[in-house]
Structure 1
Amino acid sequence: MDSSTTGGGPLSIVLSDDGLFAAHINGKDLIIYSDVTSEYKEAQTSRIKENNVKILKFCSTRSGSSSGSKRHLLIANESRVSIWQLLPLQLVAEIKNVEPGALNIEFGGNDSEVLIFHAWNTKMAVHSIEDGRTSVIKTPKSAHPLGFGFRPDSNQLAILLKPETSDILTIHHPSSCELLNRTVLPSIDAQGLKWSPDGKWIAIWDTASSGTKVLILTADGQLFRTYDGPSGVDDAFDLGVKQIEWSPAVGPNGASDVLAVGKVNGNIDLLRTRTFSSSTTLSHAFPTDQNSPVIWRERHTSAMGDAEYAETTSSSALNMSPELPGPPRGVAIMSFSPDRNLLSTVDTMRSNVVWIWALDGSPRLASILVHEQPVRQLVWHPSTPQLLINTITNTLPSVRWWSPQSHPVIARVPTHKNESGKYELKWLAGSDNDSVFWFGSSEEYVVGYLSAEEQSVQFEVLNSLTNQGYGSHSGSISRN
Structure 2
Amino acid sequence: MDASTGPGVALTMNLSADGLYAAQINGKDLVVYNDLTSTNRDAQVCRLKENGVKFIKFNPRCVSVQGTHDGQTRFLLTANDSRITAWQLNPLQVLGEIENLEPGTLGVDFGKSGQEILVFHAWNTKLTIHSLETGQSSVIKSPKSASHLGFGYRPVTGHLAILLKHDMSDLLTIHEPRSHELLGRVTLSTVDAQGLKWSPDGNWIAVWDAASAGTRVLILTADGQIYRTYHGSPDDDDLFDLGVRHIEWAPSEGAEEASRFLAVGKVNGSIDLLGTRTFSLSTTLSHIFAADTQTCLFWRERFTSAMGDGDYTETSSSSAANMSPESPSSARGVSIMTFSSDGGHLATVDSTRSNVVWIWAINQTPQLTSVLVHEQPVRQLLWHPATPQLLINTVTTSLPSIRWWSPNTRPVIARVPTHKSESGKYDVKWLAESEPDSAFWFGSTEEYVVGYLSAEDGSSVKFEVITSVTSQGYGKHEGCVTSS
Q: TM-score, normalised by structure 2?
A: 0.94
Aligned partner of 2:24 in structure 1 is 24
- 1:268 paired with 2:271, answer yes
Distance 1:34 1:133, change over 3 A: same
- 2-structure distance, mates of 1:176, 1:118: 20
- 1-structure distance, mates of 2:453, 2:293: 33
Unmatched segments (≥5 aa) in structure 2: 478-484
1:191 deviation in Å? 0.5
Aligned partner of 1:3 in structure 2 is 3
| Equivalent residues of 1:250, 1:256 under 8 A apart | yes
1:11 deviation in Å? 4.8
- 1-structure distance, mates of 2:41, 2:175: 44
| Aligned-pair Cα RMSD in Å | 1.9
- 1:465 paired with 2:463, answer no
Aligned partner of 1:391 in structure 2 is 394
Distance 1:262 1:81, change over 3 A: same
Q: 1:154 aligns with which of 153, 157, 174?
A: 157
Aligned partner of 2:130 in structure 1 is 127
- 2-structure distance, mates of 1:49, 1:107: 22
| Equivalent residues of 1:73, 1:85 under 8 A apart | yes
Kindly provide the amino acid, as one letter, of the partner of residue 19 in structure 1: G
- 2-structure distance, mates of 1:304, 1:38: 32
Aligned partner of 1:256 in structure 2 is 259
Aligned partner of 1:431 in structure 2 is 434
| Equivalent residues of 2:243, 2:267 under 8 A apart | yes
C-alpha distance after superposition, 1:105-130 (max 9, x if no partner)? 11112221001111011000000011
- 2-structure distance, mates of 1:104, 1:193: 17
Q: TM-score, normalised by structure 1?
A: 0.95
Aligned partner of 2:75 in structure 1 is 72
The percentage of counterpart residues that share the same residue type is 64
Aligned partner of 2:200 in structure 1 is 197
Moved more, 200-209 or 35-44: 35-44
Kindly provide the amino acid, as one letter, of the partner of residue 470 in structure 2: T
- 1-structure distance, mates of 2:50, 2:189: 44
Aligned partner of 1:327 in structure 2 is 330
3-state SS in 2 of match to 1:315: helix
1:148 deviation in Å? 0.6
1:257 deviation in Å? 1.6
1:48 deviation in Å? 1.7
Kindly provide the amino acid, as one letter, of the partner of residue 265 in structure 1: N
- 1-structure distance, mates of 2:335, 2:255: 31
Kindly provide the amino acid, as one letter, of the partner of residue 55 in structure 1: F
| Equivalent residues of 1:205, 1:215 under 8 A apart | yes
Q: 2:102 aligns with which of 99, 122, 130?
A: 99
Report matched runs for 1:403-442 at 5 Å.
403-442=406-445
- 2-structure distance, mates of 1:102, 1:355: 38
| Count of aligned pairs | 471
- 2-structure distance, mates of 1:328, 1:2: 22
Aligned partner of 1:52 in structure 2 is 52
| Equivalent residues of 1:65, 1:111 under 8 A apart | no
Aligned partner of 2:482 in structure 1 is none
- 2-structure distance, mates of 1:61, 1:230: 40
Aligned partner of 1:478 in structure 2 is none
